[in-house]
Amino acid sequence: MQLVFYITDNCQLCELAETLLVQTPMDPPIPVDVVDIAQSTELVARYGERIPVLRRADNGRELDWPFTRDDLMAFLDKV
């Protein structure tokens, strides 16, 4: 599994989500590709009002902020 983490600069909610993501134990560790949506007008249109957003690369499921550690763990466990 791999995660895509959609964020942008100067986003306090993104920082909160990143802290939660870093502090959540994952065994085995899951690779996270951080994507700044400001680099693409398409990504801004899709995620601009939703960031931070986590997307599972394996199944395309997305988890929008706000989410808790329990929400994150359930998101990672679902196939």
Instruction: For residue 58, give the CATH number of its domain.
Output: 3.40.30.10
Q: Are 59 and 79 in contact (CB under 8 A)?
A: yes
Q: pLDDT band at residue 78, thresholds of 50, 70 and 90?
A: confident
Structural domain for 47, as ranges: 3-77
Under 8 Å between Cβ of 5 and 57: no
Q: Is the pLDDT of residue 79 over 90?
A: no
58: its two tokens: 């394996």
How many separate domains does the chain show?
1
Nearest to 52, CA basis, from 21, 8, 19: 8
For the cut 70, the answer to whether the pLDDT of residue 36 exceeds it is: yes
Token pair in block for residue 6: 């959609």
Query: What residues form DSSP beta bridges with 63?
Result: 54
Mean pLDDT of 27-38: 95
Residues in the chain: 79
Supply the pLDDT for residue 57.
96
